[in-house]
Chain A
């Protein structure tokens, strides 16, 4: 299994541009998550999904959108990039969100720089 894969690895955006961060998992996990990590800080949850067609906001959803049309894919969309969105973005997945099965597996991250 490849686990959780993310593309691109690095991207520079100009203010106001848009882009989609891709995330794919091949573990047949139901739950998927998007986090952002600012320098020297812990991870903050942006959006999560408990299954195809179901998404919900996390701690810091403003400026982002997500969709979940398949079990495998969970893309994160930035519509109008702002310097405050400069961060490292991690996608994760877990089999479920319940107790023993909450273990999350993370992708390698996407580094985004907005200038």
Chain B
């Protein structure tokens, strides 16, 4: 699986958009970009995923660059409850052409939303 690089921490004002970057320069053509978050002491929560196109759901938007080497998770109107650790993960098909769904969780980005 490709490795990802994220900033250690970010701050955001409540009501503003939070833009969380992720670099995944070694991503292969059939690997997806996944975003999860973990609110203190809870299990990780799925947010969104994408392959090539930008994606949007009720929680967030995912912008993937054309070369797929980086992406940005956008929380359009951050609230205090969005304070969490956000994980950018690349996963999908391994070299053998099959996948067992392994997600490699790095350190993630600690997002703090301020009043």
Chain B interface residue count: which class? 20 to 34
How many residues of chain A are within 8 Å of chain B by beta carbon?
A: 30
Shortest distance in angstroms between B18's beta carbon and chain A's nearest beta carbon? Answer: 20
Restricting to A60-104, which residues have a CB under 8 Å from any CB of B?
88, 90, 92, 94, 96-100, 102-104
Which chain A residues border B34 with CB–CB below 8 Å? 102-103
Which chain B residues border A34 with CB–CB below 8 Å? none
A109 to B42, CA, bound (A): 7
Residues of A participating in the B interface, judged by any CB pair closer than 8 Å: 4, 31, 33, 35, 41-45, 48, 50, 56, 58, 88, 90, 92, 94, 96-100, 102-109
Other than the given A43-B44, A48-B101, A98-B101, 4 more pairs (CB < 8 A) read A100-B32, A102-B32, A103-B46, A106-B45
